[in-house]
Amino acid sequence: MKVQHLILVATFFYLAYTELVNGQPRKDCQTRCGNVTIEYPFGTSPGCYYADDPSFNITCNEREELIFGGNKVINISHTELRVWNDISYACYDSEGNVTEGVSYSYSLANLSLSRNNKFTLVGCNAFALLSTTGARDYSTGCLSACDSPPAGNGDCNGEGCCRTDVYVPLDSIGFETRPSSYGNMTVTHDFNPCIYAFLAENGTFHFNASEDLKNLRNVKEFPVLLDWSIGNQTCDQVGNRSICGMNNSICVNSTRGTGYNCKCLEGFEGNPYLSNEKGCQDINECISTIHKHNCSDPRTCRNKDGGFDCKCRSGYRLDTTTMSCKRKDFGWATILLGTTIGFLSILLLITCVQQRMKRRKTAELRQKFFEQNGGGMLIQRLSGPGTPNANVKIFTEEGMKTSTNGYDQSRILGQGGQGTVYKGILPDNSIVAIKKARLGDNSQVEQFINEVLVLSQINHRNVVKLLGCCLETEVPLLVYEFINSGTLFDHLHGSLFGPSLTWEQRLRIAVEIGGTLAYLHSSASIPITHRDVKTANILLDENLTAKVADFGASRLIPMDKEQLTTMVQGTIGYLDPEYYHTGLLNEKSDVYSFGVVVMELLTGQKALCFERPQQSKHLVNYIASAMKENRLHEVIDEKVINEKNWKEIEEAVRVAMECTRVTGEERPLMKEVAAKLEGLTVTKAKHQWSDQYPGEVTENLVGVGILSEQGDTSSTGYDSIKNVASMHVAAGR
């Protein structure tokens, strides 16, 4: 009997050893623990788990809980192990003292944390660390702050809850989570007595501020994903020595970065690591409720290894569109097919002809617009003598449409009386401003081309550069350099920018604008009157350098004329009262508008404000009244006043008042104004300015006519010479 027992024991161990060598578990291995299925290569005893790696040895305790590394296993998949993970926490009393808490450490064995986990901290004025141990230590953390209960739910955005990704080195053998407070917990104790830190599988924790900050310990644990793989070799390296079962499974390289996993072929299901009846078996799609066939008639479904076929009886064919059987009718089918092909061919030919005609018509229309907008004249002027410095690039309509994403609404930078300005991105990735003007008067094409050429030759650091134009559209498109820091109006009256401008910055901006206008009036090849000088037309770059823009209302004044009769254009509040009443344009109109801009810089007040008293709605009246009543300090922006600059401010006010005299003859020239302001940056003011232009302060009051005729901020009308609508030269933003 003893010999027989020895033989049986020897046989048992031999069979177990043979199965282990072949990479397969014993037939008597435990396959369930509680409600969890134990999937090979995991097992609970020798011979049942993959022998080359003890980390696949898991325990089923007396409570029928499957344990790995001290954690309860939820389920096992072919690449992942899902386990319960305890929460680390620390609790404080109302005086901020720690009353209880625990930090948990976990063993990873030869597995690794999946990237489908998140490290989460719940609490106010707290931080938490996730640290690993191994050949390379790794730590990551999270910080959360709040002094009152957060308003929203569901977002871990750093207020009451923060969440971060986890990238743990493969050679880590364990990890630990630790929460801690960094602030005064007495402030948050009533609604947040404890702070919590934990790992959780993506999508398993949703933050609820009203509940989680109070009692998250009602939840003891969260599921965590652990990645696993076989060995440390790739499929190519392991070759036919992999433990993947038989013919219906394949070896795939592990996504965790080391080793390999097994996978059933498409059309098969089961454990790809087994070669027995529990391994990858064919799915019978004809009867399966999960993997269903798509045959329209279930009676035609025929199962095969790795798939299925829909078999039709004799005389029928399978319609692969509907997966149904149709009667074969080769004669009619051929006729129908031929007719269909012929019809489609004719339709394709008609479509090609229509597309070609459409392209030709579009090309002809573009050429028509190009000539109508003065394209031929512009090319002739550019190639002829007289414009050696002109650098006008002619853009195509297709290029403009592409650069503005089809004139998309999101690309609009601004809209006004002169047209719409779009942000454009050229093929070289340079950013430009593209002005699409409103419909104008084609009779003024020559004047428009002249103005484009003149503006393109202006190479002044404080003038927005005109880069080119597109004449293939119904109205011309003008392309300008892109200035990215908003307008002077935005900086003075908006809320999108940082601290307000200092006195030095405002004075420098005034000097730059004044010098630019003086250049346009006196130094340009043909004098240019801007006609719409205002803070909204002064752009600022990243260095707060002023750039004069929007020449849409400008006029070129011939050298032999001091003034020009035009339709009245401009913006109420900045508009020269003399020009408003007479329609006679000269450079003194820009001087008046510039004076109002200087007043805005000094006071931080808008040019026209209906919230001020009746007689002070206009900024010129507002300052004139303050000077007359000896209370100038009350209207100057308090952010720029100090003991050292008051005399400079007073002198700047005098300059602005001289610029805004009602009669143009009594105003100084723009170059005189620019020189006076430039002098303020070098030396103290010399009180000689007012002597050159006699008159009382009260003469600066704006005529009643303008204020009583207020309407749209940008006036429109007809040219008093030609009695036709003007074509505007557009400006860039």
Distance CA 571, CA 556 (A): 19
Burial state string for 12-30 with b = 16 or more CB within 10 A and e = fewer than 16: eeeebeebbeebbbeeeee
The DSSP-derived string for 387-415 is: -TT---EE--HHHHHHHTTTT-GGGEEEE
Distances 112 to 82, 254, 263 between C-alpha atoms, Å: 12, 12, 20
The DSSP-derived string for 411-469 is: GEEEEETTEEEEEEE-TTS-EEEEEEEPP--GGGHHHHHHHHHHHHH---TTBPPEEEE
Close Cβ partners of 574 (under 8 Å, ≥ 6 residues apart): 532, 533, 534, 592, 593, 596, 597, 607
The enclosing H or E element of 649 equals helix 646-659
Catalytic residue among 86, 212, 532, 590: 532
Greatest CA span in the chain, whole angstroms? 138
- 3-class SS at 578? helix
Q: How does strand 393-394 pair with strand 466-470?
A: parallel
Q: How many CA atoms lie within 13 A of 332 on its CB side?
A: 3
- Chain mean position to CA 179: 34
Q: Which residues on adjacent β-strands are paired with residue 85? A: 222
Distance CA 308, CA 296 (A): 13
| 532 part of the active site | yes
CA-atom Rg of the chain in angstroms: 41
Distances 311 to 148, 288, 306 between C-alpha atoms, Å: 69, 18, 16
Which residue type occupies 655? Answer: V
Q: Which residues on adjacent β-strands are paired with residue 106? A: 175
Distance CA 704, CA 405 (A): 47
Distance CA 37, CA 74 (A): 9
Catalytic site positions: 532
